[in-house]
Amino acid sequence: MKDELTIGGVTLTSRLFIGTGKFHHNNLIPAVAKSSMAEVITVAMRRVDLHSTEENIINFIPKNMILLPNTSGARTAEEAVRIARLSRAAGLGNWVKIEVIPDQKYLLPDNYETLKATESLVKEGFIVLPYMNPDLVVAKQLEEVGAAAVMPLGSPIGSNRGFRTKELVRIMIAESRVPIVVDAGIGKPSEACEAMELGADAVLVNTAIATSNDPVTMAGAFANSVRAGRVAYLSGLGETTLEARASSPLTGFLG
Amino acid sequence: MSFYHVYQELKELDLEGFLDSVTNNDVKRVLHKEVLNKEDFLKLLSPAAGENLEVLAQKAHRVTVQHFGKTIQLFDPIYISDYCVNHCTYCSFNVTNQFKRQQLTMEGIEREAKKIAGTGIKHVLILTGESRRHSSMSYMKDTVAVLRKYFESISIEINPLETEEYKELKEVGVDGVTVYQEVYNEDIYQDFHVKGPKRNYRYRLDTPERGCLAGLRSVNIGALLGLDNWRKEVFFTGMHANYLQTKYIGTEIGVSLPRIRPNLGSFSSRSKVNDRSFVQSLMALRLFLPRSAITLSTRESPDLRDHLIPLGVTRMSAGASTEVGGYSLEVEGTNQFEISDKRSVKEICKALYEKDYQPVFKDWNQL
């Protein structure tokens, strides 16, 4: 069975996206990328130092991966747009993950500014993947202005609290015409699996991999769980009931 | 509303009585909570918590790695003028100390910038003594214009300014302000700040808030540990940070833990803070403010700094000089305080990597 995901005209076979933050050494990135089997990798533009050969994080990212620079640190649409332009000018491609986070306490995104930035950058020819608070109305507006995918948070960024926004994301999955990538808060492979079982198109995991004791092995565990969740979704999960039931308790009399 | 009003309410509480009443079990219960209130924070500063430092350390480490990863952001101070109109009894730059004062010219600043940038540092903190005449707005703006050619992020630690002035500096490229209250205890504050505009406790206390109002990206506060009872001073510091972070969600509020160092003059600390207490302060702040940046300067020894890395620190200066023109001059001048960790940027990076930590040079783009 062929099961592909297309974003911005690119066909992906892996539904796990990974990040580059929080590793104790950037030289872990190639092995993590390999064991995760991910094809998309996000990198904070704020951390990219093109003038440094030794510390340039880009040098650690496998060349065959799709680079998804993000606008981490932006607190307004305008800042996000400027960071995206810097990224493209630096030769990092035209994909961008919009992060507009004015709240420094919980790091929650600003959906309104995110929408504005998405609209501007789509017009400038970027493939835009906005990170957002799960909200169907905003998701539809993002779709309307040309977002290539929408990335609702599972719980606050870096919190490892799991897939807490499930009910809202479930609605987005049902109603969205663009891929839904659950991003942020996924702390365990089982939670990534849960998002995939629900029908998410992909998940992005960074903290849970980067801060584990063995990031390379953990990346492999996430790869397996994402695959398992996807296959379960495609196979159609059985209905859950609390008790065993006769097959037709109410209409059996009809014979 | 100002933190001054919060402070006035807090200081009326029987903090010492509360701290002494905390038991081991109280501390353990706090460690099972995710969001801490002010009572929890105080419990972590109690003598009882001091008996449980290893458990605090385990949690402080976990929380820090979760939010910041195994990374330490590096920066350097750049001292551009040591003219000062204040008489603060603990500081070498104080107006009564006789030494040859200096103020760097733009050429001098550029020389310093080149030296610092040559080590790979991308974030700098401009420091001056407090003298509006010598560190005028136009001088500061010219300085920032020079530094922007070399660095991605520029912060200032200079005399307190008005909100409008912070806005002007933000326009030309200043991202953040650091201002230490030095000591939160208002009575003791008057004893240490004998002369000069800095005697105005309330104006200084409201300075970080003016930085927030001006829309600066980051505001960094701290108490100079050793001027009064550290448990109370760290408590007020954390409460101040919490007040600002709750009121100004768009500003990143960070804290520093400067501890009194030997300086020019005859000052010696009245309330010495030993390493155990220092470590407890750091961890209590980390657990109360899980996402706040915590800065550790070169005032501390290499050995202690290395040990503090996993316990909550997220920003360190490296290869730093605390004298005007100190990076590019051959002749030694007057340092604001004595540096204890004299390791170069390269050596600090090596130490970080050995502990499985990544040095981060660049964490922002000049926009």
Q: Which of B365, B366, B367 to mutate to test the interface with A (most CBs of A within 10 A)?
A: B365
Could you report the per-residue pLDDT of A223-240, keeping only the tens digit for each? 999 999 999 999 886 666
Could you report the per-residue pLDDT of B295-309, keeping only the tens digit for each? 998 888 899 999 999
Instruction: Indicate which residue of A22, A63, A97, A188 is catalytic.
Output: A97
Question: What sign has the CA pseudo-torsion B28, B33, B38, B44?
Answer: positive
Mean of the per-residue pLDDT values for chain B? Answer: 91
Q: Is B275 in a helix, a strand, or coil? A: helix
Could you report the per-residue pLDDT of B29-69, keeping only the tens digit for each? 999 998 999 999 999 999 999 999 999 999 999 999 999 99
Could you report the per-residue pLDDT of B109-128, keeping only the tens digit for each? 999 999 999 999 999 999 99
- The closest alpha carbon to B200, from B95, B92, B86, B336, belongs to B86
Q: Would you state the pLDDT for residue A158? A: 76
Q: Which of B358, B360, B363, B366 to mutate to test the interface with A (most CBs of A within 10 A)?
A: B358
Task: Kindly identify which residue of chain A lies nearest to residue B289, measuring between CA atoms.
Answer: A105
Could you report the per-residue pLDDT of A157-174, keeping only the tens digit for each? 877 888 999 999 999 999
Binned at pLDDT 50, 70 and 90, residue A33 comes out as very high
Task: Kindly identify which residue of chain A lies nearest to residue B292, measuring between CA atoms.
Answer: A105
Distance (Å, rounded) from C-alpha B209 to C-alpha B246?
Answer: 12
Residue contact A211–B217, C-beta within 8 A: no
Could you report the per-residue pLDDT of B239-251, keeping only the tens digit for each? 999 999 999 999 9
Binned at pLDDT 50, 70 and 90, residue A241 comes out as low
Task: Give yes or no for B165 touching A (CB within 8 A).
Answer: no
Binned at pLDDT 50, 70 and 90, residue B97 comes out as confident
In contact, A97 and A151? CB cutoff 8 Å: yes
Beta bridge partners of B252: B218
Reported ipTM: 0.80
Which residues 72-101 in chain B show a CB within 8 A of chain A?
A: none
Residue contact B68–A25, C-beta within 8 A: no
Question: Which residue stretches of chain A are H helix?
Answer: 29-36, 77-89, 111-123, 136-144, 166-175, 189-198, 207-210, 215-235
Active site residue A97: yes
Is the model's pLDDT at B136 over the cut of 90? yes
Number of other residues whose CB lies within 10 A of the CB of residue B41: 20
Is the model's pLDDT at A145 over the cut of 90? yes
Q: Would you state the pLDDT for residue B94? A: 83
Buried b (16+ CB within 10 A) or exposed e, A196-210: bbbbbbbbbbbbbbb
